[in-house]
Chains A and B, each alone.
Chain A
Amino acid sequence: MMPWFTVSGLLLISYGAVVGLFYAPPDYQQGDAFRIIYVHVPAAYLSMMAYSIMAVSAGIGLIWRMKLAHAVAAGAAPIGAWFTFLALATGSIWGRPMWGTWWEWGDPRLTSELIMLFLYFGYMSLRASIDETSKADKASAVLILVGAVNVPIIHFSVEWWSSLHQGPTLIRKGGPAIDTAMLYPLLAMILGFTLFFAALLLARVRTEVLHRERRSRWVRNLVLGESA
């Protein structure tokens, strides 16, 4: 599955980037600066998607004591953290010419996304600080589940409070508020990012499982087979 996800993801990203950068018409208010949407929105969406996957996996891992679920959560964390950082950074770069500022501390959307970055860091450092895997699984799963309340806050922040951040473009009442010439490359980017994420997640979960089962016979045979 991994190479299929990677190849189709990269194809969609290339299509979305080229069309988004050069063929989609400039925005009537934001001019060409709006093109940052093609990396910012997919990154922000993935940052929340990765967190949601972690929260669901952590829940499954806690309730049914499923080790694989904890491995999925642990594998998703660094990828989610990278894309959260990317969403914050590209948002900041977009905010500078549009709002006249790189960052606004009082803004609910910006602040809640930053809190999510800290939740990712907290999750990873908590896991790294506990040697016993089953204890690390439980403690970090609780942390991620408590922090999950932040995800809907991020999503609805622009509707609940007044924010510098613009309102939702895609998921809103009355359908997407964007012309199809701008929409298609955006959808391609979102799908492409998702496939790229899926490929990375599969690779990372495989590594996690190998690490967890490092003392088992099948891992031993696998490693000996590959190194011979």
Chain B
Amino acid sequence: MELLAMGKYGAYVWSSFSLTAIVMIACVVQARARQNRIYRDIAIRLKSTDSAQ
């Protein structure tokens, strides 16, 4: 437990590291979301052009 306390700086150290983890996860989630959206848009476009032909 003492190891986790980080002297009197526990709140600062742990909030920094947690925020870093959150930002990295957010980066991945955001990139995935954009990829899915682009794929979906292309698929929708293809469907509409195919049905028009």
Contact = CB atoms under 8 A, between A and B. Distances in A.
Interface of A: 17, 21-22, 26, 31-33, 35-36, 38-40, 43, 78-79, 82-83, 85-86, 89-90, 93-94, 96-97, 196, 200, 203-204, 206-207, 210-211, 214, 219-220, 223-224, 226-227
**Interface SS of A by simple majority:** helix
Contacts of A83: 23
Interface of B: 3, 6-10, 12-13, 15-17, 19-20, 23-24, 26-28, 30-31, 34-35, 38-39, 41-43, 45-46
A17 B17 contact: yes
Given A21-B17, A85-B23, A200-B27, A33 B9 contact: yes
Contacts of B15: 93
Contacts, number: 92
A204 B31 contact: yes
A9 to B, nearest CB: 10
Contact of A223 (B9, B13, B17, B42): B42
A207 B35 CA distance: 6
Nearest to B34: A207
